[in-house]
Amino acid sequence: MKALFLSAAIALASMSCFAQASDHSTVHVGLVLTNIIQINPPVDGMGAIFNSASDYTNGEDLVDIWGNPTSDFSVYSNRNFNVTIKAASATFSYFNPLSPTNPNMPCSILKYRCSANSTGGTNNAPSFTALSTSNAPLISGGTAGANKQFSVRFKADPGWSYGGGLYGLDVVLTATQL
Residue range 35-61, pLDDT digits in tens: 999 999 877 899 999 999 999 999 999
Report the run of H or E that residue 9 belongs to, with start and end: helix 2-17
Tell me, what's the pLDDT at 99? 79
Tell me, what's the pLDDT at 2? 61
Closest CA to 128 of 143, 117, 138, 113: 113
Report the run of H or E that residue 58 belongs to, with start and end: helix 53-58
CA 159 to chain centre: 32
Tell me, what's the pLDDT at 102? 74
Could you tell me if 129 and 68 are in contact, meaning their C-beta atoms sit under 8 angstroms apart? no
Could you tell me if 139 and 119 are in contact, meaning their C-beta atoms sit under 8 angstroms apart? yes
| Phi, psi at 9, each rounded to 5° | -65, -45
Helix, strand, or coil (residue 5): helix
| Below-70 pLDDT ranges, the chain | 1-20, 100
Tell me, what's the pLDDT at 103? 86
